[in-house]
Amino acid sequence: MGQPFSHDRMHVIDLLLRGGLVVDGTGARPRVADVGVDRGRVVLQEPGSTESALVELDVRDRVVSPGFVDIHTHSDLTLLSAPSARSKVAQGVTTEVVGNCGLGLAPLPPGSPVDPIRAAVGYLDLDPGVQVSWHRLADYLAAVATARPSVNVAAFVAHLPLHGGVVGLGDQPAGAAELDVMCGLLDEALGDGGVGLSTGLAYAPLCFADERELLALASVVARRGALFAWHLRDYGDRLIPSVEQALRVAATTGCRTQISHLVSVGRRNWGAVVEALDLVDRARADGLDVGVDMYPYTAGSAPLSQLLPEWAQDGGIEEVQRRLRQPAVRDRIRSAWVDRPLGWDEIVLNWLPESAPTMVGRTIASVAESLGSTGDDVALDLLRDYGGAALMVAYGRSEDDLRTVLRHPAAVVASDGLALDPDGVTGTGLPHPRSYGCFPRFLSRYAGDDLADAIRRCTSAPADRVGMADRGRLAVGLPADITVLDLARLDDLATYERPHAYPSGVDLVMVAGEVVVQAGEHTGARPGTALRRPREGAQS
């Protein structure tokens, strides 16, 4: 032990953080110590060190924490467009896990066309200039490494390209041969280093995937000991049966399971997270490995198309746009919408193509009023005209529910946001502020008085969910992914009205021993790498 990391005592190490309050990510009691970094790794962690370093920083009155590990992001494509990942490193994130909610472009079945799948994941596709040059997950991860991001990047295997590429975009179940192909591609992608499988059963065509398919894929994930992350079928009126489905698949296959962004949507459903967490507790008591994650906000963000009934999403987004020109179809959707859990005054348009900028930042109810129209018709027209490119921020959630979820022993913090650059193509529109403020917001407003536990939920706990035991903790020998916080100044400044704003109080961020953010400014360094889940039985 220690050989690669021990160093000659005469050697001057790269960097020493002097006198900070070290919160090591494991939940252990904070203690004042110096932290030394050399050749990308932590080489010492002790009080009053006599070591000399090329660079010494006085971090007294600061918290020295592992960099945050964000296991639920949609930065799949923006990391290629904006590899400096400014919105994420500014909040202290050093590892970004993409491919969530089933959305992503890896793996694509060999030879399958990219464009229809890309259209189906419009939510994360903000820069048409990004070239999709891969089919395999290994090649996607190689493209990320070539882009030299400022953060480390790991990836879930996304269910949508698998299902969409093999079965198609329509309302049809997978046949036996198609299931075999999907399972083979999934297994290959997990072998390529994917941290698990993610699904998004609210998104077409995944809403058409049957439980047989979910069980087959979960069995592959279980064999690999990887994680199955679920954007549930429904977070509104049918939250409980949706949680039950994930837990049923976990119980049948033994698959490690993550319930993504657990929330109950719509005032009439407030409180349902308590029952959902009871179900999770019971599954855990039965020995299943089930976790949940959440971002510290009472609004979500998604494509407007997510409001459509499943039948209306059949066949891919162009087909949906064509369908919405038929008066009979519109009538049928209006009837389905009579009993929606969210009102049009709770839904804000936050991103639209350039032709409709005046609507951005307004509720659908307010747009309808000024057009002398109805909310239903405004929404249907936007979906007809812009398809998957119309995005919303949806309110109608409970602060009490949010606190209940974030306090649960199995809960970790994850942004559900994207790496964005306010000065680039990805800096347009009004993205959900979580892309800029998630972790500072959690630590400054939701952490309570147990700082060590709050930091654990941002670091080692999420890293462990995705099988990365060497991330999210500060210890001698581990990679030096470090975030230094000034708790007195820590504040998320990004708001729904002005989301492209960096937080305050994140003083220093280091990835692999290189300083990426100093005094709140990006240094231009891009030391991130693609992280691959270690193969079973291999030394990590």
Contact residues for Zn ion, defined by CB under 5 A = 101, 231
**Closest approach of Zn ion to the CB of residue 55, in Å:** 40
Nearest distance in Å: CB 62, Zn ion:
34
Q: Is the dihedral of CA 147, 149, 152, 156 positive or negative?
A: negative
Q: Give the neighbor-by-neighbor strand order of the sheet with 227-231.
A: 157-158, 196-200, 227-231, 256-259, 290-294, 411-413
Closest to Zn ion by CB, 19 or 236 = 236
Cβ distance to Zn ion smaller for residue 65 or 258 = 258
Q: How far is the CB of 260 from Zn ion (least distance, A)?
A: 5
For Zn ion, the closer of residues 231 and 434 by Cβ is: 231
In the complex, least distance from residue 263 CB atom to Zn ion, rounded to whole angstroms: 10
Residues 6+ apart with CB under 8 A from 320: 204, 305, 308, 312, 313, 314, 383, 387
The smaller minimum CB distance to Zn ion, of residues 414 and 482, is found at 414
Tell the smallest beta-carbon distance from residue 523 to Zn ion (Å). Answer: 32
CB of 341 to Zn ion, least distance (A): 17
Alpha carbon distance 123, 128 (integer Å): 12
Give the type of residue at 430: L
- Within a 10 A sphere around the Cβ of 328, how many other Cβ atoms? 8
Question: Which one, 21 or 101, has the nearer CB to Zn ion?
Answer: 101
Between 101 and 272, whose beta carbon lies closer to Zn ion? 101
Residue nearest to Zn ion (CB): 101
CB-wise, 124 or 485, nearer to Zn ion?
124
Paired residues of 53 in beta bridges: 13
**Structure tokens, 301:** 């963000």
Side-chain half-sphere exposure of 84, counting CA atoms within 13 A: 17
Nearer to Zn ion, 152 or 301 (CB): 301
For Zn ion, give the closer residue by CB, 64 or 101: 101
Quote the least distance from Cβ 101 to Zn ion, whole Å. Answer: 3
Q: How far is the CB of 511 from Zn ion (least distance, A)?
A: 26
Contacts of 184 (CB under 8 A, 6+ apart): none
Give me the long-range contacts of 251-254 (CB less than 8 A, separation at least 24): 251/283, 251/286, 251/288, 252/215, 252/218, 253/215, 253/218, 253/219, 253/221, 253/222, 254/222, 254/288
CB of 58 to Zn ion, least distance (A): 41
Beta carbon of residue 261, minimum distance to Zn ion (angstroms, whole number): 6
Nearer to Zn ion, 231 or 471 (CB): 231
∠ CA(417), CA(107), CA(322), 5° rounding? 75
* Backbone φ and ψ of 218, nearest 5°: -60, -35
DSSP, residue by residue, 261-310: S----SGGGTTHHHHHHHHHHHHHHTT--EEEEE-S-S-EEEEGGGGS-G
Query: In whole angstroms, how close is the CB of 468 to Zn ion at the nearest point?
Result: 21
Local structure of 494: helix, strand or coil:
coil
d(CA 39, CA 2): 14
Residue 176 tokens read as 């036996």
- Cβ(237)–Cβ(266) below 8 Å: yes
Nearer to Zn ion, 306 or 483 (CB): 306
Query: In 10 A of CB 260, how many CB atoms?
Result: 25
Q: What is the DSSP letter of 109?
A: P
The count of C-alpha atoms lying within 13 angstroms of the C-alpha of 147, restricted to the half-sphere facing its C-beta, is 26
Residue 199 is which amino acid?
T
Q: What are phi and psi of 125, to 5 degrees?
A: -105, 80
Using the minimum distance from each CB to Zn ion, give the nearer residue, 123 or 502: 123
Please name which of 501, 531, 475, 521 lies closest in space to residue 64, comparing C-alpha atoms. 475
Least distance CB 72 / Zn ion (angstroms): 7
Q: Is 91 helix (H, G, I), strand (E, B) or coil?
A: coil
Minimum separation from the CB atom of position 115 to Zn ion (A): 23
| Nearest residue (CB) to Zn ion, 397 versus 473 | 397
Distance CA 523, CA 297 (A): 29
Looking at this protein, which amino acid is placed at residue 46? E
Q: Are 27 and 66 in contact (CB under 8 A)?
A: no
